[in-house]
Amino acid sequence: MLQNIGIPGLILILVIALIIFGPSKLPEIGRAFGSTLKEFKKATNDLVNGDNKENDKTEENSKIQAVERPTSKTGS
């Protein structure tokens, strides 16, 4: 979606934002957008890393269970 926006499109968007919000509000809007993007990236990384941690814990538990259960058979 945003891949087709070139430099002229970005300039047009910035000019329209400047007209609508004024020069005093643009830095505030930029900071809010930046913090929102940072929070979104952090949440995304937490979700991805959380899934990896759960998979690691599952693998560790299966290794522990395999070690706890002896596989050798004793003759009767």
pTM for the predicted model, two decimal places: 0.47
Q: What's the token pair of residue 32?
A: 């809010």
Q: Which amino acid is at 5?
A: I
Please tell me the predicted confidence (pLDDT) of residue 36: 94
Structure confidence by residue, pLDDT tens digits, 15-63: 998 899 888 888 898 899 999 999 999 999 988 887 666 666 666 666 6
Whether 36 and 44 have beta carbons less than 8 Å apart is answered as no
Looking at 1-25, list the stretches that DSSP marks H as alpha helix, in order from N- to C-terminal side: 7-21
- Encoding tokens for residue 58? 């599952």
